[in-house]
Amino acid sequence: MRKALLIGLDCAAPALLFHRFRDKLPNFSRLMERGVYGKLTSSDPPITIPAWTVMASSRYPGALGLYGFRHRRENSYKDIWIASSRRIRAKRIWDYVAEAGGKSCIVGVPPSYPPFKVDGWLVGGFITPDTNRDFTYPKELAEEIKKVVPGYEVDVEFRIEDKRGLMKDLFDITEKHFALIKHMMKTREWRFFMFVEISLDRIHHAFWKYFDEAHPLHEPGNEFQNVMENYYMLLDEKVGELLELIDEDTVVLVASDHGGKAMKGAFCINSWLEEQGLLKLKSPVKRVTRLTDVDVDWENTVAWGWGGYYARIFLNVTGREETGVVDPKDYERVRDEMAERIRSIRGPDGEEWDTAVLKPEDIYPECRGDPPDLMVYFDDLYWRSAGTMGHPALYLPENDTGPDDAVHDRMGLYIYYDPREDLGGRVEDMGILDVAPTLLRALELEIPDEMEGKPLQKP
């Protein structure tokens, strides 16, 4: 078995790493020039959870039963469950490495809380509440981390107004993450090493409007206009330090779970459903309120929605929901009519939107867990879905749950590099399902039949 290092950069954007900042990124450029690189189509939905698990398992979100961070519990109107490591049943790359007798280091790969047993070592990722709880496997690894990297944290709160403090915290936490990664690379006997740096995602969401001249809220000459470029340069420097620690036997794959781009605004999905007569309220909403706190007339409601980077639409079906009103024999007709109405939504100035409305069973071979009835990408995800109600308009210039400048793009990126051979900098796009088969082949392991993707083809 060879060795493989999977460098996960959450939300890394092809337009930035491959183009806008490339001349400031010598280490990424070297990998690109000698390897194969291109856009990496994310999962549907292109959300951190499930995307990293899709990448590591080569299984669709439907097979995993993961459609985002939170999920509706058993057709409830309000009860939800939060994705955690306990929900994952599929084998991932490190499981196959273990079966072949190799050990793995897993650092910050969502979802990894609660920490779970691996043949090797695991450090929890961003859903870990804090490092005062168990966040490692084995448990004693936490004490070693506290000694080697004092003040180690897995994530920071990023939807805040204190941009100066946030900038410092994100750069500091990245330094600590890479200090731990280097320590584990040097002190463990591993065959597979995978880590995810979540701070890049936070930088995008918190600082995109400051550097992007085309962002609707951009202010020329602001003090944070170089934060994005400086952070990509920091990542390049840190990745360069990792490359010095590997030998000719180690294949490297840089990958992002999804891309990022400027957010144009948020669309109030539940207020729109109310305007359409599909969501009924017993009393009007007088201030900005989450749907769970709104007095919904469920006995006369046809549909409701959830906010987020994409909208989830639920129909109120007789016999499925507690007080359902949509007859099961009318389900497909009502769902198709709603999808058509949603596709016809235009922007605040009457502009046409490139909105996708997806049925889970049309995009997944199977749908486990608690899928929504419809999945909506407003204007190719440029517009978030706002689930709150009580706003003065359907279109919001900013996120409804805290400061956020960016949205997710379905196109992430990858770079494949094998120090044994010069692949000539070939540009070839790939899908997120193809990452695990590509790495298993690089590790000279058999690709299992249950994996949905195919390995990257070498020339």
Helix (H, G, I), strand (E, B) or coil at 84: coil
How far is the CA of 304 from the CAs of 75, 327, 396, 443, 456, in angstroms?
Answer: 12, 16, 19, 47, 41
Q: Is the pLDDT of residue 329 over 80?
A: yes
Average pLDDT over residues 248-260: 98
For residue 21, the one-letter residue type is F
Helix or strand (DSSP H, E) at 178: helix 163-187
% of the chain residues with pLDDT over 90: 97
pLDDT at 412: 98
> How many helices and strands, by DSSP H and E, does the chain display?
13, 21
56 phi/psi in degrees, rounded to 5: -75, -20
% of the chain residues with pLDDT over 70: 100
Summarised one tens digit per residue, pLDDT across range 292-312 is 999 999 999 999 999 999 999
For residue 448, the one-letter residue type is P
Closest CA to 45 of 431, 376, 450, 430: 376
Domains of the chain, start order: 3-262+408-442 (3.40.720.10), 265-403 (no CATH)
pLDDT at 348: 97
Q: Could you tell me the pTM of the whole model?
A: 0.96
Q: Is the pLDDT of residue 459 over 80?
A: no
In DSSP terms, 406 is beta-bridged to 262
Closest CA to 113 of 104, 95, 126: 126
Confidence of residue 332 (pLDDT cuts 50, 70, 90): very high
Summarised one tens digit per residue, pLDDT across range 175-198 is 999 999 999 999 999 999 999 999
Q: Is the pLDDT of residue 105 over 90?
A: yes
Round to the nearest angstrom and report the end-to-end CA distance of the chain.
22
Separation of alpha carbons 244 and 182, rounded Å: 10
Q: Is the pLDDT of residue 220 over 60?
A: yes
Closest CA to 376 of 293, 304, 302: 304
Decide if 70 contacts 80 (C-beta within 8 A).
yes
Confidence of residue 128 (pLDDT cuts 50, 70, 90): very high
pLDDT at 113: 95
In DSSP terms, 254 is beta-bridged to 7, 415
Average pLDDT over residues 388-416: 95
The rounded mean pLDDT for the chain is 96
Produce one character per residue of 295-307: b if its CB has 16 or more CB atoms within 10 Å, e if not: ebebeebbbbbbb
For residue 404, the one-letter residue type is D
Average pLDDT over residues 33-45: 97
pLDDT at 401: 86
Confidence of residue 255 (pLDDT cuts 50, 70, 90): very high
Decide if 368 contacts 65 (C-beta within 8 A).
yes
